[in-house]
Structure 1
Amino acid sequence: MTDERAGLREVSRRAGVRRVAELAGVSPATVSRALREGTPVSADTRERVRRAAVSVGYPLPARTLTVAVLARLPTRWFFAEAVAGVEAVLSAGGHLTQLHNVGDPASRRHFFDTLPVRGRVDGLILVASALDDAERSALDELDLPVTVVGGDMPGRPRVGVDDRAGARAAVRHLAGLGHREIALVSFDPYEACGRTTARDRRAGWADALAESGAAPGPVVEVGADVTAGDTAAGRLLSLPRLPTAVFAMSDEAAIGVARTLRRAGVEVPGRVSVVGFDDHEMAAVADLTTVAQPVRRQGELAARALLATVAGDTPADVELPTRLVVRGTTAPPR
């Protein structure tokens, strides 16, 4: 009985190949070649055969995709977490991840000038990097599916968090403790990676200040790493009067702020309270109050959205929740 069923399946398969060949106007052998990756068949013929196969319900072989991931700082925590999420989903489906570092200006310019992914990848995932008009046009010309993590590219599916709401929750926490002057350590608003995020988190800071009646403290525009936090704290220490609280747009910067203040003899949280954003893997070690966001999950969902787009679907934008994690760097002011 088993041999009989196997024989029937083989007869059915051959009939299906002949029907696909008739519809596509090619030979059965060409159908077999066209439905296998890496075989010498023109793109037009391959597409015609695939459409014919779909129209009669002939099963298509699993297709291995190559997805390019553009990350500005791939070794930094946020980017590494997002890329890990992307790669986990793609590898589970038998697909390939191609990582491109577009961090320094020269490498970024080279990528968008030469577009080395042209004809070599099936889609792109952009991680936390705003694009200028020329860069956006370059990606549009590739005519590839694009999904965005933690940024914004109009017309493309986006996975991220509500940065404004997260920042608002952080500053509400400080205002609720009784802090009346709350400083902001900001990303560089003119830097491509953080432009949208900096705008939204600054708006959340301003929202909470307006709600509570607290005064806006000094705004220090530096960057996102620990060294930037050190620099920001140095600038705050040079002021005639220290604010009693600081909201930093990243945990790395918040850790740098707290470290430098403590080295200068300023108690954290006794004299100054500090809140970060991300829930970086070192946030718990530093006992840092922060706003947690699910970074790896964003990468996973972005990969799923890209695969859905390649399959012909139109995935909706996804906005994941943030949550306030209260630890030991915040307390009521003295």
Structure 2
Amino acid sequence: MPAGRRSAGVSAPRTCRAGRGADGPPGSSVGIQEIATATGLSKATVSRALRGLPTVAGATIDEVRRVADELGYVPSSAAAGLATGRQRAVGVVLPVIDRWFYAKALGGVDAELRAAGYDLVLYNLGGPGGDRHRAFRRAMLRQRVDALVLLSLVLDETERRELQVSELPTIVIGGPAHDLRNVGVDDRAVAALVVRHLTDLGHRHVAYVGGQDEAGMNVAVPYQRRDGFTEAMTRAGHPVRTGWYADGRFSFAGGVAAGTALLDVRPVERPTAVVCASDEMALGVVVAAQRLGLVVPADVSVTGVDGHEYGEVLGLTTVAQDPGAQGRVAARAVVAEAQGAPPTVVPVSPARLVVRRTTAPPTR
């Protein structure tokens, strides 16, 4: 039972007085006392939960923040910044903004930061031609933020050195990056899950669609998933043909192009299944197959990775992960560290095989 809790349940939110809350900023109608009354927790526990401190159980933090949102609690980040000397802001650096995974992870980071009373400062690098200098030098050396969350970025030597000088709490979502903490799935294990599913169905001739993303900035995840696929196929006794690796550029259009190249051949040269390193590419391969007059999965099975909502609608077999949850975990970790807590070890995020309509035993 969390410290300070008086009851197992949460009482229904009550109507609070207008004006300034007991512990909120001017204009806020709700303070910490109202949240404590609604949850049955002490004011001290509510305060620690709102700040995401590691001394409070995760379930309690989630409960307190949910009730705070329902009651309309607005923390005073300006007042807190004056008192602590912190900016109460976290910088999020991402390669591009128009990818499903990045958008979902960013949403999770934002939700957690808002609940903790922190601002989000977004640095969209915009692809290879973007201004990385703006993100890594201005944000860190000018101390505009208290911590950094990096999305699937591999840093060069200068950027790593600037991170060390800044001493900002930093965490990476999606793919390991040097010695930085990472939130994400085990990408090699993810690929092995898919291979095991297909070989159990009887597939022996399996192709792979992966490659670098269009921005050319996300290195770790594509390589990890490709190597995991290759290793799993080799362990199963079915080495992959050299020509059955295609570059789908981690996009829907790239998946269409890669699928066309792999499947627009004589049946005897065609793989019976295609493993894709993302759902967006997998959906593109499905479209390519249909354009060629092939039936999925009767003529070719297709799998993806991620858990994209479009994949659910179209019946795509995939390994699902939750980038929104990864974003929340990452934000909670760096906020706690920015507030003085020691760095914590972040566990590997869960991933699960979701079997749907795009996989079946091979017919040849």
TM-score band (shorter)? 0.7 to 0.9
2:232 counterpart letter in structure 1: A
- Separation (CA, whole Å) in 1 of partners of 2:322 and 2:105: 9
CA shift, 1:137, in A, is: 2.6
| 2:117 pairs with 1:94 | yes
| 2:266 pairs with 1:243 | no
Residue in 2 that maps onto 1:71: 94
Partner-residue secondary structure (3-state), 1:99: strand
Contact 2:296 2:359 in 1 (8 A): yes
- Separation (CA, whole Å) in 2 of partners of 1:285 and 1:189: 24
Task: Provide structure 2 residue ranges, at least 5 long, that are not aligned to the other structure.
Answer: 1-77
- Separation (CA, whole Å) in 1 of partners of 2:186 and 2:81: 42
1:322 counterpart letter in structure 2: A
Residue in 2 that maps onto 1:180: 204
TM-score (norm 1): 0.78
Residue in 2 that maps onto 1:333: 362
Residue in 2 that maps onto 1:224: 250
- Separation (CA, whole Å) in 2 of partners of 1:239 and 1:135: 45
Larger Rg: 1
Report Cα offsets for 1:142-196 as digits up to 9, x if no partner. Answer: 3311111112233332111111111100111111111111101012289754321
Residue in 1 that maps onto 2:351: 322
C-alpha distance 114-306 of structure 1, shift in aligned 2 (>3 A):
closer
- Separation (CA, whole Å) in 1 of partners of 2:326 and 2:93: 15
- Separation (CA, whole Å) in 2 of partners of 1:232 and 1:62: 52
Contact 1:112 1:135 in 2 (8 A): no
Report Cα offsets for 1:246-281 as digits up to 9, x if no partner. Answer: 000000000000101111101111111000000111
Residue in 1 that maps onto 2:193: 169
CA shift, 1:125, in A, is: 0.3
Partner-residue secondary structure (3-state), 1:282: helix
Residue in 1 that maps onto 2:335: 307
| 2:167 pairs with 1:143 | yes
Residue in 2 that maps onto 1:205: 229
Residue identity (%): 40
Residue in 2 that maps onto 1:124: 148
Contact 1:151 1:196 in 2 (8 A): yes
Contact 2:211 2:222 in 1 (8 A): yes
Contact 2:214 2:250 in 1 (8 A): no
C-alpha distance 61-189 of structure 1, shift in aligned 2 (>3 A):
closer
Contact 2:137 2:162 in 1 (8 A): no
Residue in 1 that maps onto 2:43: none
| 2:284 pairs with 1:256 | yes
- Separation (CA, whole Å) in 2 of partners of 1:283 and 1:205: 21
TM-score (norm 2): 0.71
Task: Provide structure 1 residue ranges, at least 5 long, that are not aligned to the other structure.
Answer: 1-34, 40-59
Instruction: Calculate the aligned-residue CA RMSD, in Å.
Output: 2.3
C-alpha distance 98-61 of structure 1, shift in aligned 2 (>3 A):
closer
Contact 1:182 1:215 in 2 (8 A): no
2:343 counterpart letter in structure 1: T
- Separation (CA, whole Å) in 2 of partners of 1:38 and 1:291: 42
1:317 counterpart letter in structure 2: V
Higher mean alpha-carbon deviation, 133-142 vs 100-109, is at: 133-142
- Separation (CA, whole Å) in 2 of partners of 1:97 and 1:307: 11
Residue in 2 that maps onto 1:157: 181
| 2:293 pairs with 1:265 | yes
- Separation (CA, whole Å) in 2 of partners of 1:220 and 1:182: 12
Partner-residue secondary structure (3-state), 1:155: coil
Contact 1:128 1:151 in 2 (8 A): yes
- Separation (CA, whole Å) in 1 of partners of 2:158 and 2:265: 41
C-alpha distance 97-109 of structure 1, shift in aligned 2 (>3 A):
closer
Aligned residues: 280
1:326 counterpart letter in structure 2: V
Partner-residue secondary structure (3-state), 2:311: coil
